[in-house]
Amino acid sequence: MSTPDISHISSEDYSLIYEPAEDSFLFLDALEKEINEIQEIRPQICLEIGSGSGIVSTFLAKEIRLQLLSIILFIIVCFLYIDRCTDINPRAVSITKTTGLKNGVSLEAVLTDLVDGLAERLKKKVDILLFNPPYVVTPSEEVGSSGIEASWAGGANGREVINRFLPLVPELLSNTGIFYMVVIKENNPDEIGSILSKSGLKMSTVLERRSGPEFLSVLKFMRES
């Protein structure tokens, strides 16, 4: 599977949005590994939280567009096959749309915090939910900006944004929906799994990889049978 073309993104853009890095490419590898299972559930709504450059949603949309028609992101929203993405960073929203168009797919990006304004519409309807969150351990005061810092600043244990989103996951996922999320060891993945298990979601690990001082994992959550 080919990596989406992001040659349109300039160095100036990367001073304002997150540049695809090892975590991004691990996410792509995980989705490639999972593509058959993703296609088997015949997703109609996919949502990415925090789309950044749009590389992840574009990758997934390219791979399933022949069978479906839509996806959603941290900053974006689309319809039937819906590819939606959302982001709190205005430049990321704009670039996400452009990345999709450059690669022949249509992404609808929404400027919002997590899924504010979308949660009720999407309740129990999201088939594929994607999140590469701000997971880096930082001082709490760095969390909450609408600039590039929002792409990495995770606060205490790198979990402050993650913890805000976890209660929304069981409310968003459809009965056969799958949630994929990137984490590092410091985020305590087992505790995340324990939290979501109380809502009937089981956790597994799709891929793991060390990148410098970080040990990255892509976690997968599905409803218990």
Q: What is the pLDDT of residues 170-217, one digit of tens each?
A: 999 999 999 999 999 999 999 999 999 999 999 999 999 998 888 999
Token code pair at residue 213 = 């001082």
Choose the weakest-confidence range: 31-35, 74-78, 122-126, 188-192: 74-78
Q: DSSP secondary structure string, 57-75?
A: HHHHHHHHTTT---EEEEB
Q: Provide CATH code, domain 11-223.
A: 3.40.50.150
pLDDT of 166: 98
pLDDT band at 23; cut points 50, 70, 90: very high
% of the chain at pLDDT higher than 70 = 92
In 4-130, alpha helices (H): 11-14, 22-40, 55-64, 90-102
Domain ranges (residues) in the chain: 11-223
Q: d(Cα 142, Cα 125) in Å, to the nearest integer?
A: 33
Cα separation values, 205 from 6, 23, 128, 219, Å: 28, 14, 16, 5
Could you tell me the sign of the dihedral formed by the alpha carbons of 127, 77, 220, 3, in that order? positive
Give the count of alpha carbons within 13 A of 5, CB side only: 8
DSSP 3-state of 205: strand
DSSP 3-state of 124: coil
Q: Which amino acid is at 62?
A: K
pLDDT band at 87; cut points 50, 70, 90: confident
Token code pair at residue 58 = 């574009």
The DSSP call for residue 116 is T
**Bridge partners of 180?**
130, 220
- How far from chain centre, in Å, is Cα 75? 10
Q: d(Cα 14, Cα 16) in Å, to the nearest integer?
A: 5
pLDDT band at 11; cut points 50, 70, 90: very high
Q: d(Cα 73, Cα 50) in Å, to the nearest integer?
A: 6
39: number of Cβ within 10 Å: 14
Name, in order, each residue with C-beta under 8 angstroms of 1's C-beta and a sequence gap of 6 or more.
28, 32, 35, 59, 62, 63
